[in-house]
Amino acid sequence: METSTETEHVVFVTEDGVPTGETGPKLASHHAETRLHLAFSCYVLRRSDQALLITQRAEHKKVWPGVWTNSVCGHPAPQEPMEDAVRRRAAYELGLPAIEDLECVLPKYRYRTPPYQGIVENEFCPVFVAWSEQEPEPNPEEVGDWRWISWSDYAQLLGDPEANVSYWARDQFAQLSDRKPFTGL
């Protein structure tokens, strides 16, 4: 069951992504000096036309509101297996309870954002790919808009310096472009 962001906790990790045994409240843990913590990103693809689901974060979100990004991102709860966290957030944010063939494609991805409204993301963030033929039914608390687009259109969006896209989406793109299944899109 999904918890509110007020009670959700992040898992702090070492530089190698190993949990330290410490956790912190999600919102209170994101600030100008955010400690390295565990997160994930997931790219949901549609087999029928090889399209990628991108989402726009809801405008009222406290962190990175209104930016376009990959399909779903989140944080595993303490002791929660990463794959379970990805499925939980896909169901909660996107209304996609049955993503298929979940695979980690960048197991050691890590990033730190420049400050955004006083908040820095500092995450050890494995990147996943999954598949779904289902149309999303997004949670408006999380997602402001969404669309299916081709990988080449996604590349154009990320290449536009004026586009309102997330830091991590731009950063992950270069590493994903030469990996399966993205090489075939």
Is 30 annotated to bind ligand? Answer: yes
Give the separation between CA 52 and CA 151, rounded to whole angstroms: 6
**What local confidence, expressed as pLDDT, does residue 36 receive?**
96
| Residue keyed to tokens 């999600």 | 26
Give the separation between CA 87 and CA 28, rounded to whole angstroms: 24
Is 6 annotated to bind ligand? Answer: no
Give the separation between CA 142 and CA 65, rounded to whole angstroms: 9
Give the separation between CA 148 and CA 169, rounded to whole angstroms: 15
Give the separation between CA 113 and CA 93, rounded to whole angstroms: 22
Name the CATH superfamily, with its identifier, for domain 9-174. Nucleoside Triphosphate Pyrophosphohydrolase (3.90.79.10)
Instruction: Name the H helices within the chain.
Output: 26-29, 82-94, 151-159, 167-176
Contact 178, 112 (CB under 8 A): no
Catalytic residue among 42, 123, 125, 142: 123
Q: What is the pLDDT of residues 127-174, one digit of tens each?
A: 999 999 999 999 999 999 999 999 999 999 999 999 999 999 999 998
The DSSP call for residue 15 is T
**What local confidence, expressed as pLDDT, does residue 81 receive?**
97
Is 31 annotated to bind ligand? Answer: no
The DSSP call for residue 157 is H
Catalytic residue among 73, 83, 137, 141: 73
Domain locations in the chain? 9-174
123 part of the active site: yes
Query: Can you list the residues of the chain whose pLDDT is less than 70?
Result: 1-6
104 part of the active site: no
Contact 142, 66 (CB under 8 A): no
Is 22 annotated to bind ligand? Answer: no
In three-state secondary structure terms, 12 is strand
147 has which bridge partners? Answer: 54
**What local confidence, expressed as pLDDT, does residue 4 receive?**
44
Is 121 annotated to bind ligand? Answer: yes
Is 60 annotated to bind ligand? Answer: no
In three-state secondary structure terms, 66 is coil
**What local confidence, expressed as pLDDT, does residue 3 receive?**
47
Give the separation between CA 82 and CA 68, rounded to whole angstroms: 23
In three-state secondary structure terms, 7 is coil
